[in-house]
Amino acid sequence: MADIGFDGKVAIITGAGGGLGRCHALELAKRGCRIVVNDLGGSVSGEGGSEGPAHDVVREIEALGGEAVADASSVATPEGGEAIVQAALDAFGTVDIVINNAGILRDKSFHNMTPDLLEPVLDVHLKGAFYVTQPAWKVMREKNYGRVINTASNAGILGNFGQANYGAAKMGLWGFTKVLAQEGAKHNIKANAIAPVAKTRMTEQLLGPLGDKLEPELVTPVVVWLAHEDCDVTGEAYSIAGGQVSRFFVGRTPGYYKHDLTAEDVRDHFAEIRAEDGYSVPGGINDELRLLLDVLKD
């Protein structure tokens, strides 16, 4: 089968001045994609800023014979999102792929979390994805083509101590992904999420010796496939680490039904409500409503 190529396509990758975003940018560029390398160039906790990292990655892409432009706007404001998409339109005339990857960490256990630890994390991860994707969405709807990849995290999907802010933002991105998948369906726009684990500046202190097996380059192949026009899945989330790829999904247990349900019924049937045997994976709320109608019709 032919290699996965991106000739003629344009991708915006946020936070691509280092870590995972840089790997995605280099690999897509090698495969013929033109890239907007966005990066604010701040610290892991989101302080400061520099145009350096975005420009450095553009130089790396050019050295490989690829095409890229740098953008140092913040994803965390509507104006920043507009500027990033405008950079793609000015340089390349369109946008086909948005990879929302920019991120910061401000970890603290919940009882000590303060608004200055919450708001910037929601702004960059969750609102940032809105602000960048929305102006790109307009272009994608008009051309009837688009691919959106949101960087979620197992810290949201599964939970992680000290990351109430980050986990909430990352799980919010999964809801965002699922809604975009439905709204994009008739415009040939696919939206998926990834939950990566990789050794980057964000995680190098946390992963210990396992980190050496978790190269960020091993996350990128999934991103490349999800960004490609031949990949027609949408509304899904993938766990990716060190070459292992799996799908996360939301399952619904068959549960328990009684037309005059009481609290005592819930207590007495709690094991049945929770039992995972025979679970289903509804694709959207209509799927769940159909399951409900089956039960409630009698």
The two three-digit tokens of residue 236, written as one number: 């899904």
The residue nearest ligand NAI at its CB is 19
Subset of residues 90 to 129 that bind ligand NAI, contact rule: CB under 6 A? 101-104, 124, 128
Q: Which of 18, 146, 172, 184 binds ligand NAI (CB under 6 A)?
A: 18
Q: How many angstroms separate the CA atoms of 133 and 127, rounded?
A: 10
DSSP reduced 3-state for 183: helix
Q: Pattern of binders to ligand NAI over 243-282, x per CB under 6 A?
A: ----------------------------------------
Sign of CA dihedral 171, 236, 40, 78: negative
Active site residue 145: no
Min dist CB 104 to ligand NAI, Å, is 5
Q: Are the C-beta atoms of 35 and 29 separated by less than 8 Å? A: yes
Dihedral in degrees, nearest 10, Cα atoms 101, 106, 134, 10: -20
36 makes contact with ligand NAI (CB under 6 A)? no
The site for ligand NAI, by CB under 6 A, has a size of: 33
Q: Which of 11, 28, 36, 38 binds ligand NAI (CB under 6 A)?
A: 38
Nearest by Cα to 146 from 77, 78, 76, 99: 99
Helix (H) or strand (E) holding 37: strand 34-38
Subset of residues 43 to 72 that bind ligand NAI, contact rule: CB under 6 A? 44, 46, 53
Residues that bind ligand NAI (CB under 6 A): 14-15, 17-21, 38-42, 44, 46, 53, 74-76, 101-104, 124, 128, 151, 153, 196-198, 200-203
